[in-house]
């Protein structure tokens, strides 16, 4: 297999080798899981009792993450997303945001959160350099929220979304896992939210993981079915999204302030435009959400590897990025890791 590279030319005209995988896809986006711990226990993601958490000593420090991001930026990574677990449960996340935001070449520092702690943290995060927020929210009904997340908190999440908008972190993307018989009767409530407010609600097909593999076949709804159900109620048109790097396709009813998106990992193949890799909380680079091959970066980081060495390792890792995933209904996507460790 051949490693492809792309030329990066900086402000003074120096040519560097930008990351690209064996299928010539430029890799410019790194998702970083900062913790595997979470303050919710969503039924499709995690058992009620939690998971065997990664030992604290194995989790990358902010200094280690910063060094890796510097190396990634030197080979063309431009966007970072902090995720988890729940990233806001990690202490002083704003400090990490500030460290990343000032790295040359990084022009987008985004966050995926369940929103529970966002009301207090949105402003300090924005001041530290955070640019955007995605909030996961599967229901607009308080009782149902407590049933799906196994903890209450809808009011706090809604306050968190408002705080994020006030702090300038909009337009907000809301990620909603669509589940038959669980929340699919709220499709139109979410669509109404996207019509009346400048928010982008993205429905995600439920993916099979250890926690839900029994239910997934019954609860899974294909994005095409969701769109058909929405189309039956009005003139739904495909529209441009709010930007970003995502796999979503967007649609809106006439006059809507926001839009509805669908992310279809099972029914729609977006791998040909994949631009991302993921770093697990314990410092392993995962080349595909659904592929268990990983490269250990924690060991070289802790051995004091230089930026150039880390950049060379990143180039090498590109060789094992798979061309596509082979996710299928009812079949586990990963035998090794929970979603909360990888960052979803």
Binding residues for ligand SAM (CB under 6 A): 38, 44-45, 83-84, 86, 112-114, 136, 175, 177, 204, 206-207, 209, 212, 339-340, 343-344
When CB distances to ligand SAM are compared, the closest residue is 344
Which CB, 74 or 264, lies closer to ligand SAM? Answer: 264
Helix axis angle, 93-101 relative to 118-128, nearest 10°? 30
CB of 305 to ligand SAM, least distance (A): 28
Residue 75 or 137: the one with the smaller Cβ distance to ligand SAM is: 137
How far apart are the two ends of the chain, measured CA to CA in Å?
28
In the complex, minimum distance from the CB of residue 339 to ligand SAM, in angstroms, rounded to a whole number: 4
Nearest to 38 by CA among 248, 214, 264, 211: 211
Nearest-approach distance from CB 101 to ligand SAM, in angstroms: 20
**Minimum Å distance from CB 313 to ligand SAM?**
26
Q: What is the DSSP track for 75-93?
A: TT--EEEEESS-GGGSTTH
User: Smallest distance, Å, CB 95 to ligand SAM?
Assistant: 19
Residue 59 vs 207, nearer CB to ligand SAM: 207
Separation between Cα atoms, residue 223 and residue 268, nearest integer Å: 8
Provide the minimum distance between the beta carbon of 65 and ligand SAM in the complex, in angstroms, as a whole number: 16
Q: Which is nearer to ligand SAM, 59 or 311 (CB)?
A: 59
Q: How far is the CB of 228 from ligand SAM (least distance, A)?
A: 20
Q: What share of the chain is helix, strand, coil (3-state, %, to 5)?
A: 35, 20, 45
Task: Quote the Cα angle for 327-24-241, to 5°.
Answer: 65
When the beta carbons of 8 and 149 are compared against ligand SAM, the nearer one is 149
281: enclosing H helix or E strand: none
Q: In this complex, which beta carbon is closest to ligand SAM, that of residue 78 or of residue 90?
A: 90
Dihedral sign (CA 269, 272, 187, 217): positive
CA distance 278 to 84: 11
- Closer CB to ligand SAM, residue 43 or residue 275? 43
Gyration radius of the chain over CA positions = 19
- 266: nearest Cα among 203, 184, 201: 203
């Amino acid at each position: 297999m051949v490693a492809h590279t792309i030329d990066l030319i900086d402000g003074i005209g120096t040519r560097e080798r930008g990351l690209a995988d064996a299928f010539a896809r430029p890799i410019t986006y790194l998702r970083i899981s900062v913790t595997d711990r979470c303050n919710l226990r969503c039924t499709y993601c995690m058992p009620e009792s939690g998971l065997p958490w990664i030992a604290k000593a194995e989790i990358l420090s902010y200094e280690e993450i910063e060094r890796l991001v510097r190396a990634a930026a030197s080979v063309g990574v431009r966007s970072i997303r902090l995720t988890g677990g729940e990233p806001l449960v990690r202490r002083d996340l704003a400090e990490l945001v500030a460290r990343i935001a000032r790295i040359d070449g990084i022009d987008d520092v985004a966050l995926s959160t369940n929103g529970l702690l966002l009301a207090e943290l949105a402003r300090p995060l924005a001041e530290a350099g955070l640019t955007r927020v995605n909030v996961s929210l599967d229901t607009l009904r308080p009782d149902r929220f407590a049933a799906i997340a196994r903890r209450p908190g809808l009011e706090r999440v809604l306050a968190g979304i408002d705080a994020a908008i006030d702090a300038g972190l909009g337009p907000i993307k809301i990620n909603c896992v669509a589940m038959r018989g669980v929340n699919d009767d709220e499709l139109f409530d979410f669509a109404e939210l996207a019509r009346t407010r400048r928010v982008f609600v993205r429905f995600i097909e439920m993916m099979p993981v250890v926690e839900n593999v029994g239910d997934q076949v019954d609860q899974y709804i294909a994005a095409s079915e969701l769109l058909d159900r929405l189309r039956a109620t009005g003139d739904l048109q495909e529209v441009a999204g709010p930007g970003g790097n995502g796999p979503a396709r967007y649609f809106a009813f006439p006059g809507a302030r926001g839009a509805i998106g669908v992310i279809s990992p099972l029914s729609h193949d977006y791998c040909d435009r994949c631009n991302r890799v993921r770093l697990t909380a314990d410092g392993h680079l995962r080349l595909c959400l659904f592929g268990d091959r990983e490269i250990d970066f924690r060991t070289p980081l802790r051995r004091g590897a230089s930026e150039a060495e880390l950049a060379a390792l990143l180039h090498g890792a590109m060789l094992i990025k798979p061309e596509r995933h082979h996710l299928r209904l009812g079949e586990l996507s990963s035998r090794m890791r929970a979603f909360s460790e990888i960052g979803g």
